[in-house]
Structure 1
Amino acid sequence: MITYYKDRDVLITSDRVRIAGHEWALDDLAQVWHRRGRRLWGKVAGRGALALAMLVPVGLGAIGVLLALALRSSAGMTVALAGGGILVGLIALPLADVLLERVDRSYDRGSRNLEIWARVRGADVLLLATDNRQRFGQIYRALQRALEGGPIIR
Structure 2
Amino acid sequence: MTTYYRDGDVVITSTGIRMHGREYALAELRQVWHRSGRRSWGTIAGRGVLGLAMLLPILVGALGVGIALVAHASVAVTAGLVGGGILVGLAAAPLADVLLERVDRSYDRGSRRREIWGRTRHGDVLLLSTADAARFGRIYRALQRALEPSRVTR
| TM-score, normalised relative to structure 2 | 0.91
In the TM superposition, residue 94 of structure 1 has moved relative to its aligned partner by 0.9
- State the partner residue of 2:95: 95
**AA of the residue aligned to 2:114:** L
Determine if the alignment matches structure 1 residue 118 to structure 2 residue 118. yes
- State the partner residue of 1:57: 57
Partners of 1:70 and 1:121 in 2: how far apart?
77
Partners of 2:91 and 2:63 in 1: how far apart?
15
User: What are structure 1's unaligned runs of at least 5 residues?
Assistant: none
In the TM superposition, residue 84 of structure 1 has moved relative to its aligned partner by 0.8
Determine if the alignment matches structure 1 residue 11 to structure 2 residue 15. no
Determine if the alignment matches structure 1 residue 70 to structure 2 residue 108. no
CA displacement, residues 130-151 of structure 1 (integer Å, 9 cap, x when unaligned): 222222121111111111128x
CA displacement, residues 2-38 of structure 1 (integer Å, 9 cap, x when unaligned): 1111111110111111011111111111100011111
Partners of 1:74 and 1:40 in 2: how far apart?
52
CA displacement, residues 73-118 of structure 1 (integer Å, 9 cap, x when unaligned): 1111110111111111112221111001101111111111121111
Partners of 1:7 and 1:137 in 2: how far apart?
14
Aligned residue for 1:72, secondary structure, equals: coil
**AA of the residue aligned to 1:56:** L
| TM-score, normalised relative to structure 1 | 0.91
Identity of matched residues, %: 65
Partners of 1:53 and 1:3 in 2: how far apart?
44
- State the partner residue of 1:139: 139
In the TM superposition, residue 59 of structure 1 has moved relative to its aligned partner by 0.9
